[in-house]
Amino acid sequence: MSEIKVELKKLIIDVLDLEDVSVSEIIDDEPLFVDGLGLDSIDALELGLAIKKEYGIKLDANSEDTKRHFASINALAEFITSQS
């Protein structure tokens, strides 16, 4: 589980051009969007695309579930593990 979290953090830093953020600065249970890391809606689309490419998991952009899966690193890791 912790391996996939580090993997996800690296993916986020890489695809969202967060070059001055380090893996340790992204906290597992903190919000990724708005508060916490401070990502926005374009980041959500970009991250959705990256997850599709990396893990072959397609996320529905309009679903409430997607919002929940994107809440934090913990939620995202749990979702991806459950899909594979």
- Contacting positions for other proteins (CB under 8 A): 16-20, 38, 42-43, 45-46, 49, 52-53
Measured over the CA atoms of residue 45, residue 77, residue 3 and residue 52, the dihedral's sign is negative
Q: Which one, 29 or 61, has the nearer CB to other proteins?
A: 61
Nearer to other proteins, 27 or 78 (CB): 27
DSSP 19-35: TT--GGGS-TTS-SBSS
**11 or 18: CB nearest other proteins:** 18
The distance of closest approach from Cβ of residue 49 to other proteins in the complex, given in angstroms and rounded to an integer, is 6
How far is it, in rounded angstroms, from Cα 75 to Cα 28?
Answer: 9
What 3-state DSSP class applies to 78? helix
Structure tokens at 30: 């903190």
Cβ 67 to other proteins shortest distance, Å: 17
Minimum distance between the CB of residue 60 and other proteins, rounded to whole angstroms? 15
